Structure 1
Amino acid sequence: MPHHRLGAADFWINGGDIMQSSLKRMLVGGGFFSGTLVVAVVGYRLAGWNWLDSIYMVIITIFGVGFGEIGPMTPSLRIFTMAVIISGCSSVAYILGGFLQMITEGEIKRVLGVRRMKREIDLLTDHVIICGYGRIGQILAHQMEVAHQPFVLIDNDDHRVAQAESKGFLVQMGSAADENILEAAGIMRAKYLATVLPDDAINVFITLTARGLNPQLIILARGEYLSTEKKLLQAGADRVVSPAAIGALRMSHMITHPAARDFLEQDDGRNSLNELLAQIDIQVEELAIAPGSNLTGATVGSVQVRGKGTFVVVALRKAAGSTVIHPDNETFLEEGDTLIVMGHKGDIPKFARHYANKRQMQYRGAKFSRRQK
């Protein structure tokens, strides 16, 4: 999964941390070597030598060819020649040291991987950006991988970045509060951003920056303190999640509802309600109202009536992103809405095919045309 590197300017913005020490060393050495050449040639020229002899003398002196002097050498010129030898050899050794450092640290290989990662990120659309690869970020990344949901991680810690890269994840190294880093992670094409850093102030700043870059982005923010929730929402977060509150509620439920806990945690520790419902031939599914669907303009109640009791509507996610639990039967459906329904397996696909329009109607990622009726 990708990093951000393409072009010289782009490289220095985000790639400096990768090759900064060795490249800087090589550049400094190269600059000193070039300066030595210029000063040496000018020095011999001022001593009365012509340009060709001056350049020739500098070359055989610095590279240790040892052909001997080709012109008159005064004591001061001999001292100058010794300084040229020391300066030239030192700068060459400095350059070689930086190059060897680059090779031994595997930086060339890493930069190539960074550019490959950049190309992969550039191909992503409707992906998830996860800011922070700490404890919560690692769990979230694992769940996205299991769900086959494309995502990009952002973190500024070398160890965590290396850990994520070893798992094959797309990673953008740097601060998620930096607009350049967010743009490199494809924020303009992303659908979700989850900022899960343990610092509420940074999460607020990341939320503000992300919202300014992409007003359509769905932002999920972590809040360690309840007092931060309002600030995150004002900054532009769509949802605020408090790990501490969720953990406390779950522990409370374990204490006050032990029977329900045992039921939900059966089947080798899996607590997926959908899997348990499947055992009794019931499934929770999503029914998307695609553009041009025959259900556009219908009410929630009429959809349940058309279903002839094979399912019930438990929630409605509006096209704007809000979710209504137990929607009123008189609520009208619009293009882009998604009904969350519960019913017998197989009945919902039949219903979707029956009411498909001339173009298409989406059902859990499948598309049904009129010819499928």
Structure 2
Amino acid sequence: MHLSLKRLLTTVVFFVTTCALVAGVYTAHGWDWADAVYMVVITIFGVGYGEVRPVDTLLLRTVTMMLIVVSYGCVIYIAGGFVQMVMEGEINRALSRRRMTRGIDELAGHTILCGYGRAGRILAAELKRAGASFVVVDQDEQKLNDAESQGMLILEGNAIEEDVLDKAGVRRAKVLATVLPDDAANVFITLTAREMNETIEIIARAEHPSTEKKLLRSGANRVVLPAVIGGQRMAQLITRPGAEALLASEEGVDALQHEIERIGLRIEELSVTPGSPLDGHTVGDIDLKGNRGFLIVAVRRPGGEAVIDPPGDCVLAAGDTVIVLGHTGELPQLARRYTAAKEILYRGARARVSD
């Protein structure tokens, strides 16, 4: 497109310059400027009018013939270049749309990320690092190009619209995260997604604390308030809270995560789902195997209560979250065992676990 436009502009400049030079030659031979311009115009378009003044010298006739040849060639080239540029633009847009949606139709159990701003970029980078499958939905073509250059699947459109979410595979998706800076847009996206998929987990961003209740009523499973998390994080850095305060909430786990990653450790959360082999059993029944082992740091109850350093006879129930500490290089294997492979080791026996 840029090359075609450059060639087109170069031709236009050459054409205008030629017309000006020919008009200048007429003027130099005693013609009025208006007569010279009029002669150039009727010569270019070949309307068949008579000559304004006699073209009786060899120089004037040569210049007139040169104007006829050059002008017709330039007009044809400009018209062809314009058509080519339009066609290239349409073809590029069609290919771009096809490239954006390539691979989305084959996804299942993936994450839909609505918004690729500051928060969206961080979230997308973390999902990519974790090896999760996801689709970035945004209206900004430049942002989508940046996401595509990072090897991410992209879809251009407004996530509020049902057809856009449908193209992103919302009916087959496992999680939808809407991280737009506009609370109203996040509410509408949450409503639309919940209506299209009753089982999808929706994580929504809220700029104002008052929006949290609206998002939860709209169908969001979790609401994240960046301002609140930032304030809590700063308070933790000042007061250095104990482990119980950190592990009692997901935000606290995230804060602790950043601290321990500096020494090569990482925290993983294992959810206890209804009917899973962990449901109704004790912490001591879990067999977590690794080269250097894993440490069960806490068990977080659904109400937010955290059992720090749970004893072996601590009974697990559906809705609980087991917080495990281990080396960064080994935890992905543990995560795959519990999520990707859908199974764990229970008393040395391999059992199937639902998501």
Relative to the length of structure 2, the TM-score reads 0.57
* Corresponding residue number in structure 1 for 2:101: 118
For 1:362 and 1:212, the matched residues in 2 are separated by 27
1:115 to partner: Cα distance: 2.0
Q: Aligned partners of 1:289, 1:235: CA distance in 2, in Å?
A: 26
Give the distance between the partners of 2:348 and 2:94, measured in 1 at CA: 50
Aligned partner letter, 1:272: H
Q: Secondary structure at the match of 1:360?
A: strand
CA 1:302/1:233 → structure 2, altered by over 3 Å: closer, same or farther? Answer: same
1:292–1:331: structure 2 CA closer, same or farther, 3 Å change rule? closer
- Alpha-carbon shift at residue 235 of structure 1 (Å): 0.3
Distance in 1 separating the partners of 2:236 and 2:279: 40
CA-CA distance at 1:245 after TM superposition:
1.1
Over the residues paired in the alignment, what is the CA RMSD in angstroms?
A: 4.4
- Deviation (angstroms), 1:167: 2.3
Are the equivalent residues in 1 in contact too, given 2:173–2:200 (CA < 8 A)?
A: yes
Paired residues, number: 249
From the superposition, tell whether residues 278 and 205 of structure 1 become closer, same or farther in structure 2 (CA, over 3 Å).
same
Q: Closer, same or farther in 2 for the Cα pair 1:341/1:317, shift >3 Å?
A: farther
Deviation at 1:251, TM superposition (A): 2.0
Q: Is the 8 A contact 2:288 2:345 kept in 1?
A: no
Distance 1:125 1:299, change over 3 A: same
Residue 146 (str. 1) matches residue 129 (str. 2): yes
Q: In structure 2, what is the equivalent of residue 54 of structure 1?
A: none
Q: In structure 2, how many angstroms separate the alpha carbons of the residues matched to 1:240 and 1:259?
A: 25
Is residue 164 of structure 1 aligned with residue 147 of structure 2?
A: yes
In 1, the alpha carbon distance for the partners of 2:242 and 2:294 equals 29
Higher relative contact order (CA 8 A, sep 6+): 1
Find the residue that maps to 2:103 and give its secondary structure: helix
1:315 aligns with 2:296: no
Q: Which residue of 2 aligns with 1:272?
A: 258
Query: 1:250 Cα shift?
Result: 1.7
- SS at 1:114's partner residue? helix
Matches within 5 A, 1:28-177: 97-103=82-88, 105=89, 107-177=90-160
Question: 2: distance between equivalents of 1:291 and 1:271?
Answer: 27
Please list, as runs of the form range in 1=range in 2, the aligned pairs for 1:106-255 lying within 5 A after superposition: 107-255=90-238
Question: 1:131 offset after TM fit, Å?
Answer: 0.7
Deviations 1:173-200 (A, max 9, x none): 1101000000000111111111111111
Q: How does 1:354-373 map to 2 (within 5 A)?
A: 355-357=347-349, 360-361=351-352
Q: Distance in 1 between matches of 2:199 and 2:272?
A: 20
Relative distance call for 1:226 and 1:142 in structure 2 (3 A) is same
TM-score using structure 1 length = 0.54
CA contact (8 A) 2:194 2:200 kept: yes
How far did 1:248 drift?
Answer: 1.6
Aligned to 1:68: none
Equivalent residue number for residue 256 of structure 1: 239
User: 1:175 & 1:306 partners in 2: Cα distance?
Assistant: 44
Tell me, yes or no, if structure 1 residue 326 matches structure 2 residue 307.
yes
Change (3 A) 1:275 1:153: same
Q: What is the deviation of 1:254?
A: 2.5
Q: Deviations over 1:130-151 (max 9, x none)?
A: 1111111111111111111111
Distance, in Å, in 2 between the alignment partners of 1:212 and 1:170 is: 24
Question: CA contact under 8 A between 1:315 and 1:323: conserved in structure 2?
Answer: no
Name the residue aligned to 2:340.
none
SS of 1:326's equivalent in the other structure is: strand
Distance 1:174 1:98, change over 3 A: farther
Give the conservation status (yes or no) of the 8 Å contact 1:314–1:342: no
Identical residues among aligned pairs (%): 42
CA contact under 8 A between 1:165 and 1:171: conserved in structure 2? yes
- Call closer, same or farther: CA 1:275–1:135 in 2, change over 3 Å: closer
Q: Given that residues 220 and 237 in structure 1 are in contact (C-alpha distance below 8 angstroms), is that contact kept between their aligned partners in structure 2?
A: yes
Query: CA–CA distance in 2 between the matches of 1:148 and 1:323?
Result: 29
